[in-house]
Structure 1
Amino acid sequence: MSATQDWLAEQFEAHRSHLQGVAYRMLGSLSEAEDAVQESWFRLSRSDTTDLKNLGGWLTTVVSRVCLDMLRTRKARREEALEGYLIEAIVSDEARGNPEQEALMAESVGLAMLVVLGKLNPAERITFVLHDIFMMPFTEIAPIVGKSEMATRQLASRARRRVHGDVSHLNPDLSSQRELVDAFLSAAYAGDFDTLITTLDPDVVLRDDRQFEAVRVIRGAAALAKHVSGRAKAAQVALVNGSIGVIAAPQGKLLYVLQFTLKNGKISEVDLISDFARIRKLDLSIFPS
C-alpha cells in the first residue's frame, strides 16, 4: 500500500464511526450499515482524491448514495418493509453477526425511531436522516436523492410529519398519560408486581392477537400484572394513531404495538397488535420531546 493509500485509510478510519451512525439510521441494520461503509471505502480507494477538500462530506455523500440504492433494492424485493422486521427479529443470534453491538446501536438511536423511519420511502428516509439528524443542508442533499432543492425540502417536511405526527391535534393530557404508561413499562421490566397493580384498573382487559399465545384475553389487574411482569424489555412509548401507545422492537425490529385505553388515571384496556395487516393501518410516530 502506497503512502497515499495509507493516509487515506487512516483518514477513513477517523470517519468510520460517523459513517456507521449515518448508515445505521438509514438502513436500520448493523450488518447492512457495515456493508455500506465498506463500499464507501472501496469507492474512496479507487477515486482521485487530489482535489478533495472535505473528505468527511464526500464520504457522507457516498455512503448516503450507497444506502439509498440499498433501500430501493430492499423496497423492490418486498412492497412492505414491515414483514422484514419480523423475519430479521427471529433470525438466530449467530446469523446476526454481532447481536450485542446491534442492540447497543438500536438503543442509542431509539427503538421507536427505527421502526418509524422504516415506514418512510427511501428518499424520505435519506433526506430526514441527513437533514434533521445530521444537519446537512438541502443544497447538498438534493443531488444525493436526485431532486431539486425545493423538492428535497418537501421530502423532509413530509418525512418529519410522518416521524413526529401531527402535533396540532395531540391530546393535551398526553404528558400525564405518558407518565402512567412509563410507570407501567418500568414496573413490567423490573417485575415490580405491586407497582404494576397501581397502574391498572381493577377490571383491566388485555387483548392479544398473537396466534402462539395460549391466552388471547386476560382480565383483571392481578392477572395482567402477573402476565407482563418481567417483560417489556424492548418496549418504548410512542404515538399510535395520535394517542399514547407502545412499540416493542428488539434491536429495532418491530414485533408488536400496544394501544391503551385509560380511565380515571388507570390503564383500563390494552390491545396487543402483532398482525402486520393491522399494523400497516396504524399511524406510528415518535412521542414529542
Structure 2
Amino acid sequence: MPSGMTLELLPKLNQSTGYNNIAQTRHWVQGMLSDLTRLDARQSRKLPSMKNLGQFSDQSMPLSVEAQPLSDWLLEQFLQRLAHYQPTQHYQAQINNQSSLQGRLLIKEQLRYNSMQPHKFVCERSVLSQDMLANRLIKSALILLMPLLPRSICTPLLRPWQPLFGLNQRERQRLASIYTQAKQQLSVLPLQKQQLQAAQQLVDLAYWLLQQSNASTGYGIDPTRPNLPQPRLCLLIDMNQAFEQWASQRIASMFQQVSSHYRAFIKPKVSGSMIARVKHAYRYDQIC
C-alpha cells in the first residue's frame, strides 16, 4: 500500500487467525490456482474467464509447507520460467554498404549509392537477431519486476537480455496488438515443441504482468517517487469465481474417474449485477 504496509486478503477457512492457519490458507489457495492453471487448452475453453489464470504453465514450483504470500508466489513463477530460458533468435535481413561483398548484391541500390564508389558494395545478408517482439515483451516484464528482486538475482538474470530493449511507451499503449504479433512471430520459428511451449508460456505471463501494471495506482499516488518503500506485486483474484472453476474441474474429474462416459457441461449465466454464476449439469452419454 502507499503507506508501505503489505495487505494480504485471504479466504477465511476457519475462525482462527493464527500463523499456522494463515500459512495453511496460503498453501490451499496456491494449490487451487495451480490446479486451475494445469487445465489444457480444450478444458480451459469450457470454463468461464480463464484468460488470466491460464497464463501459467503446468510446471509450477512445488509448494513448500511454509507457504509464502501470493505476490511472492507469482514472482517465483516468472523467475522459474526465466531461469531456464534464453532469448529466441530469428533470421533477419540486414543491408550494409561496405568494402567487402558479403551476401547478395543489390544492383539497384549499388547503382544509386555507389556509382562514384566502385570499391563499396550494397549487399544484403541474413543474420541471427534477438530483436523480436516476444523477447522485448519478456524484457519489459523483467524490468517491471527488477525493483522487487535483490541485486544478486538481477545481475545473472539480466545478462542474456542486456542487448535487448523493452517496449516503448507507444507500444505499451497497444499492448494487446504487440502480444498478438509476438505470438505469431513465435509460431513460425523452427523451434522444438517444448521450446515453443516454454516461449509461449513466458510471453503469456509477461503480457499478464504488464497488463496488471497498467492499472490505476489510486488518487494522486506517484509510483515513481524515490521515497516510497520497495513495491510489491498486487494480485487481485475473484476467489468466488476461482473456487467455482476449481470445483467444476474437480467434480468433472471425479465423475470421469468413475466412467469415461460422463461429460461435464458448464453453462454460464450472467445476473443483473453482471457477476457470472455457473450452473453445472452432468449427463451420462452412451458412447457407441
TM-score after normalising by structure 1: 0.31
Structure number, greater radius of gyration: 2
